[in-house]
A and B are shown apart, each in its own frame.
Chain A
Amino acid sequence: MSILDTDRTLPANKLIFEVRRDAALRARFRTDLEGLMRDYGLSEAERTALRQADIRRLGELGVHPYFLPQVTRLFKGAGYNHNESEAAQLYADKMLKERA
């Protein structure tokens, strides 16, 4: 998984790009993620991964790496994003722990 493996055409990349730029879409990310993912045409694999904040899987599917910590902040909040913050811990949990 690398910036070299990014799938620029992946619907999840468009969704994440636009959510970060639009407060109304961020509200919908919190209240209607399923509808949002449907409207952007995410595949079932993308939907499953994003629903579970499975950033490692999102990366494997072609989401740009730079978006991955931002996904954890969309779920857990962006402020005071130190290494023990909820967002950073979600990153550690999803990206670095060995899969069962």
Chain B
Amino acid sequence: MGTIVSVIALAHAPGATGWLDKAPQHEQDALRAGYAAMGERLRAARPDVIVGVANDHLLNFPMESIPDWCVGTAARWRGPAEWFRDWVNIAPYEVAGERELARHIVRHAGRSGFNLAFSDRLEFDDNWSVPLKFLTPDYGVPLVPIHMNCVVPPLPQPQRCYEFGTVLADAVRAWPAQARVAIMATGGLSHDPGGPRYFAVDEKFDRWFLELLGTGDAQRVLRELTIEKMIAAGDGGTVELLAWIVALGAAGGRAAQTDFYVPSVPLRCGMGGVSWAV
């Protein structure tokens, strides 16, 4: 059976690899140190596979048909998608998939009331490219990417995201293979691509949210972290924190420890990461 050895959530904004030199030195240092510490702990947990959950930035699914979640079932992945290479400033890379686990998640979730889409053909942008570059720069840990809809309403509500996280964790534990599995949500924190606060960060919201995650009161998180509140903190970007709610569910609703937080206007994003004890 699968064992969950790590549950983490972290920001993936492209400025971290694309134009980090434009941030003040103290922001660069804090961000590099934060990602490095998260990467060290992740690698120390010796995962055989990472199951990732992140927003699909309107890259893979046309407006006609956007699934709440789509599990990547390919045996091998390539990134970044061509047009996003310059933007994220990351050289083309390959990372293995884990086809059997991915198929198992689709089947297991289907029996638990989640009609997941699945695909062998997912393109990656900053959602995976930025976290992998910092956390597993040799791309040595296979990835099951789960793309989710965080930005095109109607959205899966926080309660549904939490329930999906619990189902995802159940699926991992029910996988017959002996495997160590890390769960990694990416996205957030506050940012406003396409809105009037594109060049701003909502530090007050971010700190409130991180503190809320630290309470270990999952019901309170689900009650207080409404989609409206996320939209108010940065339309079109902050709602990516729905992926973190999936991770919260996978972690059994326990308290998250903040690993780092850097509100960075030059990167146009509240950058941070958290870990759950597993």
- Report A's interface with B, CB cutoff 8 A: 1-4, 6, 8-9, 13-14, 17-18, 20-21, 23, 26, 55, 59, 64-69, 73, 77-85, 88, 91-92, 95-96
A8 touches B63 (CB 8 A): yes
B235-A65 in contact (CB<8A)? yes
User: Is there contact, CB below 8 Å, between B194 and A67?
Assistant: yes
CB contact under 8 A between A80 and B152, given known A3-B231, A67-B194, A95-B196 = no
Asked if A64 and B152 sit within 8 Å, CB to CB, the answer is: yes
Q: Which residues of B contact A85 (CB under 8 A)?
A: 19
A88 to chain B, nearest CB (A): 8
Asked if A83 meets B199 with Cβ closer than 8 Å, knowing A64-B152, A78-B86, the reply is yes
- A3-B239 in contact given A67-B194, A95-B198 (Cβ < 8 Å): yes
Question: Interface residues, chain B, CB within 8 Å of chain A?
Answer: 14-15, 18-19, 22, 57-59, 62-64, 81-84, 86-87, 89, 123, 151-153, 193-196, 198-199, 231, 235-237, 239, 265-266, 268
What is the distance, in angstroms, from B57's C-beta to the closest C-beta of chain A?
6
Please state if B195 and A73 are interface contacts (CB–CB under 8 Å). Answer: no
Given A2-B235, A83-B22: A66 touches B58 (CB 8 Å cut-off): yes
State how many angstroms separate the Cβ of B224 from the closest Cβ of chain A: 20
B123 touches A79 (CB 8 A): no
Q: Which residues of B lie under 8 Å from residue A73 when comparing CB positions?
A: 87
Secondary structure at the B interface, as helix, strand, loop or mixed, is loop
Chain A binding surface SS class: helix
Q: Do A21 and B196 touch (CB < 8 A)?
A: no
Distance in Å from the Cβ of B154 to the closest Cβ of chain A? 10
Partner of B18, one of A6, A67, A81, A91: A81
Which of A6, A68, A78, A92 contacts B87 (CB under 8 A)?
A78
A77 to B85, CA, bound (A): 12
CB of B18 within 8 A of CB of A80, answer: yes
- Closest chain A residue to B19 by CB distance? A82
B194 A81 Cβ-Cβ under 8 A: no
Bound-state Cα–Cα, A4 to B57, Å? 16
Shortest distance between the CB of B241 and any CB in chain A (Å): 14
Contact of A79 among B22, B59, B86, B152 (CB under 8 A): B86
Q: Which of A2, A59, A64, A81 lies in contact with B19, CB distance below 8 A? A: A81
Chain B residue at smallest Cβ distance from A3: B236
Cβ of A21: which chain B residues have Cβ within 8 Å of it? 59, 81, 83, 123
CB of A76, distance to nearest CB on chain B (Å) = 12
Looking at the assembled complex, report how far the CB atom of A92 sits from the nearest CB atom of chain B, in whole angstroms: 7
Interface pair A65/B193, CB less than 8 Å apart: yes
Interchain CB contact under 8 A, B83 and A78 = yes
Could you give 25 example pairs across A and B, Cβ below 8 Å? Answer: A6-B152, A13-B63, A14-B62, A14-B63, A17-B58, A18-B62, A21-B81, A21-B83, A21-B123, A23-B82, A64-B58, A64-B63, A66-B151, A66-B236, A66-B237, A69-B194, A73-B87, A77-B86, A78-B86, A79-B18, A80-B19, A81-B14, A81-B87, A83-B268, A88-B199
